[in-house]
Amino acid sequence: MLKVSDLHFGYRFRPILQGVSCEVSAGEILHIVGTNGSGKTTLMSILAGLTKETAGSITLTCDNQEIADRRQKTEYLPAEANGLYGKMDAMDNLRFWQKLRGLSPSNEDIIAALAQWDLDHPLIRSNFPTEKYSTGMKRRLALARVQLSGTPLWLLDEPLYGLDAKGIVQFQSILSQHLDAGGAVAVVSHDTVPLETFRPKVLEIEKRTAS
């Protein structure tokens, strides 16, 4: 599904990624690991299309067809942000992102997705600004956005940040559903235990040089 070949990226006089190559197929998880500052988030940012690589290639194929615009088939969860409009409620936030993808989810669809993350209570999902959510609730809502996107490739940067034990189990369940449906996931996480059950492929990025 996703093939990264000999990827390079760096700022002037400071190489970040050097020759990163990896592949993730449908039903697989790619776990990207490395020390702080090794370039994991930079790699995710490149895969998401936010940053342009200096060399190398990224190919995304779905149903044996190469996808010209990767954004159509990729959903990204950044490390330090959730992409939420703080003054809007959960329903409006999710509806907004879905509509930008050209989807028209019904209220029931959105509520069903929120239910999987324990955010479906009427007092929480509507007329309640997400800026009042706890850190874990915001993360769960962002994960609900990823889930609702219907894209085959998920790019998750520290998805477990702020999640409690129940949230981690919910995350594993959603991940499992996605993989069973033929999706693929590239994930950056320092918390390796919750991912071990999926026997992920591991890509280790070392500082300045990559393997």
Partner 1 sequence: MKLLFSQTMTIVRHGFKIEWANPERWLSPILFAITMLILFSFSVGTIEGPDTAKLLVAETYLTAFFSLQISFARFLEPDQQDGVFSLLRTYPLSGSAWYLGKYITVMIMGLLILIPTIFLTSFLHAKSGVSLMSIPVITVAVTALSGMAALGVLLSTMTMGSGSKQILYPLLYFPLTAPVLISAVEASKSILVDNVNLQSLMSSWLGLLLIFGVMSFTLGILLFGELVKAE
The nearer residue to partner 1, 12 or 193, going by C-beta atoms, is 12
- The phi and psi torsions of 146 (rounded to 5 degrees) equal -60, -45
Kindly state whether residue 136 participates in binding partner 1, applying the rule CB under 8 A.
no
Q: What is the token pair recorded at 16?
A: 């970040």
Rounded to a whole number of angstroms, the distance between the first and last alpha carbons of the chain is 20
Total residues at interface with partner 1 (CB under 8 A): 29
The whole-angstrom separation of Cα 190 and Cα 197 is 15
| 4 token code pair | 């990264």
Two structure tokens written together for 178 = 């996605």
Helix (H, G, I), strand (E, B) or coil at 186: strand
| Site track 112-131 with partner 1 (rule: CB under 8 A), x = hit | -----------------x--
Residue 190 contacts partner 1 per CB under 8 A: no
Q: Which of 150, 188, 205 is nearest to 31 (CA)?
A: 188
Nearest-CA neighbor of 188 among 143, 153, 142, 155?
A: 155
Instruction: Output the smallest distance, CB 172 to partner 1, in A.
Output: 24
Tell me if 97 contacts partner 1 by CB under 8 A: yes
Q: Minimum distance between the CB of residue 141 and partner 1, rounded to whole angstroms?
A: 11
Task: Name the segment binding partner 1 (CB under 8 A); options: 23-31, 64-72, 108-116, 176-184.
Answer: 64-72
- Under the binding rule (CB under 8 A), the answer on residue 68 touching partner 1 is no
Residue with token string 């034990």: 165
Give the integer Cα–Cα distance in Å for 52 and 9.
8
Choose which of 30, 84, 110, 124 interacts with partner 1 (CB under 8 A): 84
Alpha-carbon gap, residue 138 to 87, rounded angstroms: 13
Tell me the closest approach of the beta carbon of residue 117 to partner 1, in angstroms: 17
55 forms part of the interface with partner 1 (CB under 8 A): no
81 binds partner 1 (CB under 8 A): yes
Q: Is 12 in the site for partner 1 (CB under 8 A)?
A: no
Q: Summarize as ranges the residues that interact with partner 1 (CB under 8 A).
A: 48-52, 69, 71-72, 74, 76, 78, 80-88, 92, 96-97, 99-102, 129, 138
